[in-house]
């Protein structure tokens, strides 16, 4: 399959079109009629999502280290390094803030805050270790039964959001839910300009992309009278695509064997 009109558009114009930038009307018209270039544009978008997932937060400390920092269990040198990173990284800062809020509101951990301070360094560490152990017990208990894991929207990195001008892009978006990371992109169907498609990429720590192959993904649109459900599966590269999706408010579910990752209040609208 070859381009129907070779030379009509350039690769850089396709990239700009996918980023939502202003391009010649001929670019959109060509992508709407040329199956070869439309397929190539979709391939570009999937590769971009995979690169974002690989490079995004590559220099961030592990979640475990951020938790240890919050509990004061790191060595002085490690604590200084994490503090320096938090001063520059809005994403890690958001994770630490979420953990702080959790610790402040959880009834199993609040009593630890009322313990009188002790002078011994060894004894001072023990309450923090107990609190950390309680937190892990809570997580383990929640894993025991069927459950819905609500994903958290991660703030965009300033350098990513501003790399093509000052306007902050609505897409792509990244979510995290325990060991799972989800990247979502919404764009117009290149072959159907009036329709939208939802492109997703899923990765789990300690799990190969091939192991996710066949995992059920649902897109649910709730109306007053009924729920419209779309179902797709993750492929062996970690991708899933929902084609021809109407604009509206949705919930997205990823059905893992031990629980369902849920992205709530997902507004599917063109950028």
Say what the pTM is: 0.51
**Strands 259-268, 148-150: pairing kind:** parallel
Residues 22, 106: one domain? Answer: no
Residue 183 domain flag: yes
What distance in Å separates the CA atoms of residue 213 and residue 204, rounded to the nearest whole number?
12
**Residue 209, exposed/middle/buried by CB under 10 A (0-12, 13-18, 19+)?**
middle
Given this model, what pLDDT does residue 193 score?
Answer: 64
What distance in Å separates the CA atoms of residue 151 and residue 157, rounded to the nearest whole number?
18
Given this model, what pLDDT does residue 87 score?
Answer: 86
CA dihedral 106, 112, 116, 122 (to 10 degrees): -140
Domain-ending residue, one of 150, 168, 187: 150
Please count the other Cβ atoms lying within 10 Å of the Cβ belonging to residue 177. Answer: 20
Residues 29, 81: one domain? Answer: no
Residues 162, 261: one domain? Answer: yes
Given this model, what pLDDT does residue 152 score?
Answer: 92
Domain-ending residue, one of 150, 180, 197: 150
Residue 1 domain flag: no
Residue 69 domain flag: yes
Residues 204, 241: one domain? Answer: yes
178: left (phi over 0), alpha (psi -120 to 50) or beta: left
Provide the residue range defining the domain that includes 35. 11-56+157-268
Nearest Cα neighbor of 150 from 179, 176, 171 is: 176
Reported for 45-51, long-range contacts at CB under 8 A and 24+ positions apart, including other chains, are 45/18, 45/185, 45/187, 45/199, 46/199, 46/201, 46/237, 46/239, 48/18, 48/172, 48/185, 49/172, 49/183, 49/185, 49/199, 49/200, 49/201, 49/239, 50/201, 50/237, 50/238, 50/239
End-to-end CA distance of the chain: 30
Domain-ending residue, one of 125, 150, 175: 150
Residue 264 domain flag: yes
Residues 45, 74: one domain? Answer: no
Given this model, what pLDDT does residue 126 score?
Answer: 52
Residue 5 domain flag: no
Residue 101 domain flag: yes
| Domains held by the chain: number | 2
Residues 109, 197: one domain? Answer: no
Residues 131, 234: one domain? Answer: no
Residues 143, 182: one domain? Answer: no
Residues 132, 72: one domain? Answer: yes
Given this model, what pLDDT does residue 54 score?
Answer: 62
Residues 145, 68: one domain? Answer: yes
Residue 2 domain flag: no
Tell me which residues of the chain have a pLDDT lower than 70.
1, 50, 52-57, 102-146, 156-169, 190-193, 271
Nearest Cα neighbor of 241 from 250, 249, 231 is: 231
What distance in Å separates the CA atoms of residue 96 and residue 104, rounded to the nearest whole number?
12
Tokens representing 24 are 């010649």
Residue with tokens 């007053």: 224
Residues 35, 90: one domain? Answer: no
Residues 252, 200: one domain? Answer: yes
**Residue 120, exposed/middle/buried by CB under 10 A (0-12, 13-18, 19+)?**
exposed
Residue 44 domain flag: yes
């Amino acid at each position: 399959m070859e381009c129907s009109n070779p030379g009509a558009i350039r690769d850089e114009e396709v990239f700009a079109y996918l980023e939502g930038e202003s391009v010649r009307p001929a670019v959109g018209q060509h992508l709407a009629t040329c199956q070869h270039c439309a397929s190539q544009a979709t391939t570009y978008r999937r590769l971009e999502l995979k690169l974002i997932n690989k490079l995004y937060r590559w220099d961030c400390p592990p979640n475990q280290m951020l938790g240890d920092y919050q509990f004061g269990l790191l060595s002085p040198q490690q604590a200084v390094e994490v503090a320096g990173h938090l001063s520059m990284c809005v994403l890690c800062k958001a994770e630490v803030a979420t953990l702080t809020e959790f610790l402040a509101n959880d009834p199993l951990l609040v009593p630890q805050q009322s313990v009188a301070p002790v002078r011994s360094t060894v004894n001072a560490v023990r309450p923090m270790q107990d609190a950390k152990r309680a937190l892990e017990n809570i997580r383990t208990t929640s894993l025991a039964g069927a459950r819905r894991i609500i994903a958290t929207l991660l703030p965009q990195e300033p350098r990513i959001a501003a790399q093509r001008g000052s306007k902050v892009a609505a897409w792509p978006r990244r979510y995290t839910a325990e060991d799972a990371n989800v990247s979502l992109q919404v764009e117009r169907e290149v072959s159907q300009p009036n329709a939208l498609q939802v492109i997703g990429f899923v990765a789990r720590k300690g799990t190969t992309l091939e192991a996710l192959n066949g995992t059920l993904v649902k897109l649910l649109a709730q109306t007053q009278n009924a729920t419209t459900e779309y179902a797709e599966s993750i492929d062996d590269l970690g991708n899933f695509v929902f084609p021809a999706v109407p604009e509206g408010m949705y919930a997205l579910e990823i059905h893992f064997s031990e629980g369902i990752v849920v992205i709530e209040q997902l507004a599917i609208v063109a950028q």
